[in-house]
Amino acid sequence: MRQRIVVLGSTGSIGKQTLDVAASLGLTVRAITGNRNVDLLEQQARQFLPALVAVADEAAVVQLANRLKDTGIRVLGGPDGLVEAASMPEVDTVVTAVVGMVGLRPTLAAIEAGRRIALANKETLVCAGELVMKAAKRHGAEIIPVDSEHSAIFQSLLGQGKQSEVKRLLLTASGGPFFGATRETLQTVTKAQALQHPNWSMGAKITVDSATMMNKGLELIEAMHLFQVPPEKISIVVHRESIVHSMVEYADGSVIAQLGVPDMRLPIQYALTYPARLPSPVQQLNFADGLSMTFTKPDFDTFGCLRLACEAAGQEGTACAVLNAANEVAVACFLNEACSFLDVEKIVQKTMEEIPSQPADTLEAILKADDLARKTACRIAAEESCRT
Ligand code: NAD
Ligand code: MG
């Protein structure tokens, strides 16, 4: 039987690459979703002929439905459309490639439907990791990471012994565009500079997260939940070349790693074909040409967002949900040029100081913390922008 997939966030960087992989493997695409890019959704719908297209922006629904009238494809709008796409029948894998915690409800819906989750949407695990992992266990839903570091760790853990034999996870970080910068130079960073990542071409939010290094903090929290490892057993290693995608160190001192060129089609394809490995168009590493690799430690003093995320990772309850929500608001402000680069860290820090962590055992508690953190971060962002 051909594999049948749903792609949540098909118009984004991961979504488009997922559809490239789906086309090259000949997979059936049952549903796609986007926020408001009607042109691209129409084009993707005509190419892949899914049963359902969901678009989050209510204003875009009528337009898209009109454009697809001749195809018989169902078009849905609003947040419920995303949930419906996530849980539709006759699907094997749901690729969660939306950005932000808006992916939480659809991810839970796909889990409840027992689907395999190819998880790119890290914010979902950051804000509700325990809840999501417990639901996956209860419903027998496999979660296969798409994030390159987590895919590498997943692969480095395969076929090994007991959890107790894992000494630590080594999470590699490119260091982003401002590796080696000082606090002083970070003060004048522009949006255009922050959007220039040295190794990866990605959506705007994750590119800014990579520049502040919040991305690596979010990934540490993501790894804690995916691999059930406490934060003190995860070390971040800066590796500028992004060839070693992450590693696992075992009790005997052996380190197992996964290597490859920095191309997201590799972890995307693996999440779709696991446990099989199929040929792919991705370039090969060429060791004989003198591949050089460097490793060093991260700078927690210059990159305050990384420090804040590591602090949240060590706290119980809603702290990570608050961190994530404040960061989503702060990055949106930075992308709208409504605050400076270093204000992102300031907004996250002040929001975290104002909102104490609460127990995070229900979806309601997490949504409440997320909502409060967003409002608080918006207020702080407005105060900060008045000051400058
Ligand atoms: P992107 O901005 O390129 O795409 C995001 C997608 O989400 C788009 O399809 C957009 O239409 C949709 N979307 C945005 N807001 C929405 C809303 N309110 N409701 C419904 N849909 C909405 O982002 P991306 O770079 O593809 O990243 C997607 C996720 O994958 C993120 O969580 C990111 O951290 C993670 N990730 C990305 C990469 C990468 O290389 N791009 C690597 C690892 C992990
Ligand atoms: Mg990553």
Counted domains in the chain: 3
Q: 119 and 169 share a domain?
A: no
Q: 196: domain range?
A: 148-262+293-314
Intervals of the chain under pLDDT 50: none
Q: Is 278 domain-assigned? A: no
CA of 79 to the centre of ligand 2 (A): 26
pLDDT at 284: 94
What's the whole-model pTM score? 0.97
Q: Is 137 domain-assigned? A: yes
What number does the ligand 1 atom closest to the CA of 14 have? 26
Q: 320 and 241 share a domain?
A: no
* 154: β partners: none
pLDDT at 1: 57
Alpha carbon distance 176, 350 (integer Å):
24
Q: Using a 6 Å CB cutoff, which residues line ligand 1? A: 9-15, 34-35, 56, 82, 97-99, 102, 120-123, 147, 200, 202-206, 264
pLDDT at 2: 77
For 110-121, how does the pLDDT look when each residue is reduced to its tens digit (9 = 90+)? 999 999 999 999
Name the domain boundary from 103, 129, 145. 145
Q: 180 and 306 share a domain?
A: yes
Q: 239 and 321 share a domain?
A: no
Name the domain boundary from 110, 125, 145. 145
Q: 133 and 174 share a domain?
A: no
For 176-185, how does the pLDDT look when each residue is reduced to its tens digit (9 = 90+)? 999 999 999 9
Whether residue 57 contacts residue 34, with contact meaning beta carbons closer than 8 Å, is answered with no
Q: Is 11 domain-assigned? A: yes
Q: 222 and 198 share a domain?
A: yes
Q: 110 and 252 share a domain?
A: no
Given phi > 0 = left and psi -120 to 50 = alpha, else beta, which region is 159? left
Q: 158 and 172 share a domain?
A: yes
pLDDT at 388: 57
Q: Is 357 domain-assigned? A: yes
Name the domain boundary from 145, 175, 203. 145
Provide the 3-class DSSP secondary structure of residue 12: coil
CA of 158 to the centre of ligand 2 (A): 19
Q: Is 279 domain-assigned? A: no
Q: 54 and 43 share a domain?
A: yes
What number does the ligand 1 atom closest to the CA of 36 have? 11
Q: Is 271 domain-assigned? A: no
Whether residue 30 contacts residue 24, with contact meaning beta carbons closer than 8 Å, is answered with no
Q: 332 and 220 share a domain?
A: no
Q: 78 and 174 share a domain?
A: no
pLDDT at 199: 85
Instruction: Tell me the CATH number at 329.
Output: 1.10.1740.10
Q: 341 and 386 share a domain?
A: yes
Q: Is 274 domain-assigned? A: no
* CA-based torsion, 97, 382, 373, 172: positive or negative: positive
Q: In what order do the strands lie in the sheet with 116-119?
A: 74-77, 52-55, 28-34, 4-8, 93-96, 116-119, 143-145
Q: Probe ligand 1: pick from 17, 39, 84, 99, max atoms within 8 Å of CB?
A: 99
pLDDT at 387: 62
Nearest in space to 217 (alpha carbons), one of 139, 319, 295:
319
Q: Is 109 domain-assigned? A: yes
**Closest ligand to 118 CA?**
1
